[in-house]
Structure 1
């Protein structure tokens, strides 16, 4: 029996048995890519479900029931910046390709400055050092380096990338540098919800947004090219399971409406449950957030996460 997995835009086929678990499949994928199998703890499989959402499969789950499902491989944790240069190169490459797709298609937001830095690393990864290349071709590949939004807003993007590319030394590891830069985005490994920000004590109201909660306890609220941050350890979470609304109350107050309030509760539970699985590369985050639930919620089930629509590109 075989199962097909989407691996960063392409598909890989893995042989399985009735007794194999999700963890077994992840390990086989890693071994095929010459990545040590112990890295499996920072990876997962996502089952694409309704709309743009997918379910993050538990490592202990049997894989056989999912043989006919659309499954996607995803790295869900990033190494600390000072550890990046010690990580297996094949794993770095896989993580970098995954992040590049998310940023290029604007599912992760970043500033123009960071977008140029990452595009410069991508040039080095694809084409080598600056002096080894003639650079006229860059005009034809800009859309593969930078999101459409940044290209539209910045007419000098190509020249800015060329200038930074020229400054990169020949001895750098561009994969590690790319991930080191992107680790500052607070969006890697996040559980993401589609919401509407319906009220706040600042200007942004009544807008569609993505609400991301990172393993580092940071909440990232992204809408168009706007990013807002707050620390989960410094806010109260007010949830009403009989409504579709929840609040984050801290130095700023935000009220959101989501398609299903249980998704948000599942995301919070995921952070609490998963923190112990990543001790070998991450410090375990403290769970000190004050939870206020207006109604009793039980049997929340598996985590539901935002899928990056990789089937569309």
Structure 2
């Protein structure tokens, strides 16, 4: 008789692959939710319900997830999972794969503390599985209320949670670390949407424009140049704010003087983000080339809001390779200690 698989692991793997494929959120939640519900059952009840055909009597378990559990308990790879695995491969050219392997971590990721879909520990463990040495946790700042941005009090609380998780990783002998951070809103006057005291305590700060994206070019330029001069900002996130596809529709690029913005990044030794989200892929390649020629550093990030999205780094790597960005200009090819030293040099 085949040995039973771990049905909860199979459900979570399905959710991960759906996230990586940028599938609808409700589909992901169906599998993650079912795994959570079934994980709370007393010993023996999962197998008993699978045998009796009563799994779907549990709230949050549907016909598809129940079928996956039954197949898994029978020692079979669930058909749903097998189909996803067969189409999940990413054909990367040698240069893109080499750059991907050079990355030590991801400097832009969200958890369910703001608008992400998973707890911090789940995001961290997914990063560990990808071979990352670190993950910078960058939940949103307070004024982005639509994304449940963190008040100073909540961010302070989050710092304690991260410290506890890192102590747990160290206790397990893992070299992996969650680095503290924030995706802080760049406000209309170029100031940053969090207290200087808290920003100074964070490991890495990503600053992004999320409002008034249709400002006149001179206004937007002044806004970003001012932010880049702020000693607490390390990385300029998704600089044009564009959306090229996806459920939120499309959005044109913000207009600004790219030469002036990128020159400010070089002057203050800040990094320009190469955002790997499929609906962003920001900056466009023409601006990425301008930033490269200006002498900018870069950070290839996923802007992940779910564990499976942490596997989007190849998108950014492919764009960096296409534009000739060398690995030594990419800050997340640095070991954690060197990344932290670079960020600390701005303060």
TM-score computed with the length of structure 1 as normaliser: 0.29
Structure of higher CA gyration radius = 2
Which structure: greater helix fraction?
2
The structure that is strand-richer by fraction is: 1
